[in-house]
Structure 1
Amino acid sequence: MGSFFDILQSAYATAYKNGLKKKKYTEPKIYHGGDNFDLSKRWYVYFDYASPDLFDKLGNPVLVRQTPVTMSVNKNYKTKKERLFHLGIIKEVLLEMLKEGYSPYKDKLKLNSKSLEYTAGAALDYAYTLKLNELSDTSIKDYKSRYNQFKKYLNKKNLLDKSILSITKQTVNNYLQSIVKKSSARNRNNTRIVLSSLFGELEDNDIIPRNFIENIKVLNTKSVSHKTYSLEILEGLFAFIKENDPLLLLFIKFVSYNFLRPIEVCRLKVKDIFLAQKLLRVQAKNKPEKTKIIPDIVHHEIKDLDFSVQNHFLFTPAGIGEWEATESSRRDYFTKRFWKLKKKYNEYLLSQGKTMQLGGEYTIYSFRHTFITLLFRKFRKEFTYTETCDKLMLITGHSTLKALKSYLKDIDAELPEDYSGLLSLT
């Protein structure tokens, strides 16, 4: 009984406190020339905001009327319907900004007549065109797909031909939620990244006041598993690939021994290989270009190949040559090629009376994890953890020590010694 009244009293106190708490602003309103909607008068959106310098007798900030916002509506629109429509958009945008913490005393109001001139479709097209100059071939394909899907969604909601200012945080949130329901949180997060990048371009060019997508949270996702191969699996698998697909094995050796990502191997051209110096140059994930040594174990495999045409890819379906395909398509080709071979290997294992099967968690990327783990553990037999990381960083190509340590932790490269003795009860 007492518990109920304690809760009730607490709830009442909270509600009373919140009720008395003064708002920092008033909700924006439209002045439309009076009761007669006089078009000869200046129409605008107005609101009050708490002054940081003026206080009433109780010490509360005084709400002060702010500079009216017009964005050239009076100049550009001459009918009641047009003015109410565009001022209504301005009003809603201002309200959203105020809710998210906008202060006219601290923040510049990035709203101008140009914002009203852009439809959502035109603004997104403009942002995408600007973004194209910064993107790789792989990213262009991804961006194009995701921004086109968003435009289709806006069109379905009758928002594509409306002002870009009509697109609110709630609009984008609803779209992202629809993606989660259809596919996954990871896909939703990747779409959020693309849309935030496009809206960031619009903010930078003063077409929208702020990129509100930055404030939309990232959902937790389960990492894609690339399981490390055991030595027993590795020996049998390598022997099987050597016999059934030598080209695929060479591709895998660049991943395994040069510690390249599959997409990086797909980027390699003849001009990127310097046989005499035993070096290769590749566009990496963390910087525009990196140079790596070609270890003898790989150099021996490629030294007799035809390197006469500099612009030929090192890997195509038939070896060195031309290949009219995007980066992602080339990577997907070798991913599927490995998947088909792995299926045959599983069938082979069953025919030999073995029950072990390689599932989807065993990928081409798994070879990179496997050989970095092997190298790490061999170094650790001679060196301290810090010394090992310093040596390994030169080989793997990680840009920072922090990134390498995080990677090593993710793949469980270092395991503890047996601690049975510490568990004794005596």
Structure 2
Amino acid sequence: MSLSFLLLRTVNATVNVFTMKMNYSEPKIYTGGVDISTWSKLTLQEKKKAMSKDWFVYFSFRNPETGKLVKQNFIKAGANKLKTKKDRYAFLKTMQQSLLELLQYGFNPYEDNSALEEAIFSDATQKSKNKATEKQQESNSKAIEQQQPTIKETNATSILSAFEFTLDLKANMMNKNSFVQYKSRIGLFEKWLKEKTYFDNPITFITKKIIIEYLNDVLKRTSARNRNNSRTDIASMFQLLEDNEIVKENFVRKIAVLKTVPKRNKTYTPKQEKDIYEYMKSEDPHLLLFVKFISYSILRPIEICRLKIADIDVIDKKIYVKAKNKPVQIKRLPTILLDSLPDLSLKDPKAFLFGRFEIGEDWDAEETNKRNEFSKRFKKIKEHFKLGTEFGMYSFKHTFITKMYNSYRNQGKSQHEARSMLMPITGHSTMVALEKYLRDIDAELPDDYSVLLRK
């Protein structure tokens, strides 16, 4: 039985102390390299730096062969999961006191302590029935009890328990859409482990070789991109297990990411754009308005599905968007789009802008399902025009950004000027990102260079 576990069990137990030969040093607490008594005088940066380091109890014990005091393994016992100085220090203070009691009682890290363990806990169990602990001791005990499950299970947690543990935490750490994808990929990994008869083992059974085997299977069945996404989610799971001391190392991070060629939606030609708009106008006007939000406001389909009536400010011509990279992003509502909107004044401000068939219509569905609904409807438009997989609703974003960029350039703006004016419209956070995007969609082509080729 480990020293950490033995200490945890003695925190709530009272033992008889009798004098032993001093074969050990008094246990001390390491508090991140600062003097804990001066904590209130430290700067915020110094406190953060100290809290970012591991805190632990340390001591030395006399080696029976050499007769010299030898430093023993540091005792952390989950203390560094406590996020405040007060909680962490109180926890380690109790560990320090309990360690001192054990040493006084006869604990020897170089010997078998089974008899000592039995003597301590049989005696403590009997005495604890009638003895109350002080209020501070109870508070410290609760803190330690919260750490016990992780410590006890560190070397014996089953794969099932580890997976359930990470899913429970991730559900509160990720947004709903991301968690659904994460859960799905972890579920596929779980299914594969069951097929291989690996699942009924402790989490430590899973090795880097096993995960590589699984990722190779994903690569053969699907694509390099899906394989990389699976690696990312499994690595995220193992990082959480490492952070909670359930596994020693997140070796998944060391598995290489495969190079992939990203798929890109092609830009529509002016004729395709005009024909598709005209066809949607007669066949599915609601879908046309949805596409205009992509085209004119440069929004992602999922962002459009999140919009509510209250997010459309028709007076100041603004759109309040829950974007990918920030909680709320304010975008301009261009007149060309505003003119396409119906009167919103009588609509419920809390209603979603896009219902299934009407603006402000009640539609009880997840945002991903709403996006998929519009994608399916646009697929019928594509089938009518016999367009391939390289075309989609996202193609309108590329088409209209290219159109605006070329319009700026035709006005005599330099490349830098055109990009600077375009950046607030597209929502790119850096000029480098915008420049890369414009290159990817071939927004600017060179003039006819035939004269350079003629002799």
Q: Which letter maps to 1:370?
A: T
Residue 399 of structure 2 corresponds to residue 370 of structure 1: yes
| Aligned counterpart, 2:274 | 235
Counterpart pick for 2:200 among 151, 156, 161 = 161
Aligned partner of residue 117 in structure 1, secondary structure: coil
Any unmatched runs of 5+ in structure 2? 1-70, 78-108, 115-149
Look up the equivalent residue of 2:407 and give its one-letter code.
Answer: K
Paired letter, 2:391: Y
TM-score, normalised on structure 2? 0.65
Query: Are the equivalent residues in 2 in contact too, given 1:119–1:161 (CA < 8 A)?
Result: yes
Distance 1:310 1:160, change over 3 A: farther
CA distance in 2, matches of 1:146, 1:67: 42
Distance 1:170 1:68 in 2: 30
* Corresponding letter in the other structure for 2:437: Y
Deviations 1:328-363 (A, max 9, x none): 21111100100112223x3xxxxxxxxxx4222110
User: Quick one: which amino acid aligns to residue 210 of structure 1?
Assistant: E
Partner of 1:277: 316
Mapping of residues 166-245 of structure 1, within 5 Å: 166-245=205-284
Deviation at 1:305, TM superposition (A): 3.6
In structure 2, give the amino acid aligned to 1:384: S
1:35 is matched with: none
* Aligned CA-pair RMSD: 2.6
Contact 2:291–2:393, Cα closer than 8 Å, also in 1: yes
Structure 2 partner of 1:333 = 373
Paired residue secondary structure (1:399): coil
Match of 1:312, SS state, is: coil
Shift of 1:165: 1.5
When the two structures are superposed, what TM-score results if normalisation uses the length of structure 1? 0.69
Query: By how many angstroms is 1:408 displaced?
Result: 0.9
Deviation of the 1:112 alpha carbon: 6.3
How far apart, in 2, do the equivalents of 1:316 and 1:215 lie? Answer: 46
Q: CA deviation at 1:282?
A: 1.3
Cα distance, 1:303 vs. partner?
4.7
The question of whether the paired residues in 1 share the 8 Å contact of 2:155 and 2:247 is answered with: no
Report the secondary structure of 2:242's partner residue.
helix
**One-letter amino acid of the structure 2 residue matched with residue 336 of structure 1:** K
1:401 aligns with 2:431: yes
Would the aligned equivalents of 1:373 and 1:413 in 2 still touch at CA under 8 Å?
Answer: yes
Q: Cα deviation per residue 1:355-405 (whole Å; 9 max; x = unaligned)? A: xx4222110000000000111111122211122111111001112222111
Q: 1:195-250: CA deviations, max 9, x gaps?
A: 12111211222222222222212222232231100111111111111111110000
Aligned-partner Cα distance in 1 for 2:340–2:205: 59
Q: Which of 159, 164, 168 lines up with 1:129 in the alignment? A: 168
Match of 2:444 in 1: 414
The 8 Å contact of residues 355 and 362 in structure 2, kept in 1 or not, is answered as yes
2:351 maps to 1:288:
no
Whole-Å separation in 1 of the counterparts to 2:251 and 2:72: 23
2:183 — aligned with what? 144
Tell me the number of residue pairs that the alignment of Structure 1 and Structure 2 aligns: 314
**Cα pair 1:279 1:293 within 8 Å, conserved:** yes
Structure 2 counterpart of 1:330, one-letter code: K
Cα deviation for residue 413 of structure 1 reads 0.7
Q: SS where residue 292 of structure 1 aligns?
A: strand
Q: Which runs of 5+ in 1 are unaligned?
A: 1-65, 77-110, 347-356
Match of 1:359 among 388, 407, 420: 388
Counterparts of 1:86-105 in structure 2 under 5 Å?
none
> Per-residue displacement from partner, 1:269-301 (whole Å, max 9, x unpaired)?
112222222111112122222110100011112
Query: Aligned-pair distance for 1:67?
Result: 8.2
Comparing 333-342 with 123-132, greater Cα deviation is found at 123-132
Q: Deviations over 1:60-85 (max 9, x none)?
A: xxxxxx9899999x999xxxxxxxxx
Q: How far did residue 264 of structure 1 move? A: 1.1
C-alpha contact (below 8 Å) 1:115/1:206 kept by paired residues: yes
Q: Give me the identity figure in percent.
A: 41
Runs of 4+ in 1 over 3 A off after TM superposition: 66-72, 111-114
SS at match of 1:314: coil
Equivalent pair of 2:267/2:391 in contact (CA under 8 Å): yes
